[in-house]
Amino acid sequence: METEFAPAKINLTLHVTGRRADGYHLLDSLVVFAGVGDVVSAAPADALSLTVTGPMAAGLSGEGDNLVLRAARLAGVAARIGLEKVLPVSSGIGGGSADAAATLRLLARLSGTALPARADVLALGADVPVCLAGRTVRMTGIGEGLAAVPALPAAWLVLVNPGVGVSTPAVFRALARAENGPMPKTLPKLHGAAELAAFLAMQRNDLEAPAMALQPVIGRVKAALGAQPGCLLARMSGSGATCFALFADPLAASAAARAIRAAEPDWWVADAPVLQPQS
C-alpha cells in the first residue's frame, strides 16, 4: 500500500473579518503545518473501503461516512483505504480535513488522475483546500483564498488538547463580533522565531475567547503552555480546543512537552517542527 502524510494544520492567527449573507464567516488566517499528523494508506480495490486504526481511532467509531470516504468518492477511485488516526478528532487542527486532503493526493497519485476542482474540494469543508495545498499560506474568505507569504523562520511547536469537544458552529455563535480587523495587507519578512512570535503577538485568534467561554479548560491549557521555559507565544488553534506554543529550538519544545505530559497525563501532547517548504 502507498501512504500519504496528513499533517496537523495550525492557525497561527485567525481573524474573523465578516459574515456573508449565507451565514458563512470570512477569515484571514496565517496557516502552517506541523510535523505530526495522521497517515492515509491506499491500494487499488474493486470497492471502496476504510479501516481506521491508531490511538485516536475511537474518536471516529461513530462516523460511518467520514471525510476520507467523502474525499474518495469525490476522487472517483475505488480503493482499500487505511487511516492511522494520531490527531484528536474535532480539535481545531484540521485532522479530518488533512485526512481528506491526503486521500485526494494519494488517490490521484495511485490512479494517475488530476485532483478535483477547487470548488468541489471546498464543498468537503472550509479547511480541505488549505490542507490540500499543504504549505504555509494566508487563508482568506471562507477557505478558498490561498496566498503565498514570505518564508517563515524555523520554529517548533508543542500542541496540547485537553480531550474536550468543541463545536465549531457553537464557537462562531458565541463570537461577540463578526466584523474584526484583518492582518496587515502585506506580511513582513521575519528573521528568527522571536520575530515570528512578536508579529503573532500583535495578531489574534478571534475564536479563542468564545471557545474558552464554552470550555474553560482551554484557558488552563494555554496557561500551562505559556508557563513553559522557552515558550515565545501560546495561543489556541482554529476553533479549539487544541492550543499551541511556539519555541525557537527543538530541545525546549521537547522538554515542555514532557513536562506537560507529566503534569496532565490525560491530555494529548505532541511536539513537532513547523514544516518548511520542500526545496
Residue 64: per-residue pLDDT: 66
**Percentage of the residues of the chain whose pLDDT score is greater than 90:** 93
CATH for 150-273? 3.30.70.890
**Is the domain covering 2-145 a CATH 3.30.230.10 domain?**
yes
Q: Is 266 exposed, middle or buried (0-12, 13-18, 19+ CB in 10 A)?
A: exposed
- Write phi, then psi, for 136 (nearest 5 degrees): -65, 125
**Span 7-16, pLDDT tens digits:** 999 999 999 9
Which residues contact residue 158 at a Cβ distance below 8 angstroms, ignoring those fewer than 6 apart? 225, 228, 231, 244, 245, 247, 253, 256, 257, 260, 269, 270, 271
Region 17-44 average pLDDT: 97
Region 172-198 average pLDDT: 97
Q: Is the pLDDT of residue 62 over 70?
A: no
Residue 279: per-residue pLDDT: 47
**Span 128-160, pLDDT tens digits:** 999 999 999 999 999 999 999 999 999 999 999
**Span 217-260, pLDDT tens digits:** 999 999 999 999 999 999 999 999 999 999 999 999 999 999 99
Q: Where are the domains of the chain?
A: 2-145, 150-273
**Span 107-117, pLDDT tens digits:** 999 999 999 99
Q: Which of 106 and 63 is assigned the larger pLDDT?
A: 106
Q: Is the pLDDT of residue 63 over 70?
A: no
CA distances from 19 to 22, 117, 179, 205 (A): 8, 25, 7, 16
Q: Is the pLDDT of residue 33 over 80?
A: yes
Yes or no: say if 173 and 160 are a contact pair by the CB < 8 Å rule: no
Residues with catalytic function = 9, 127
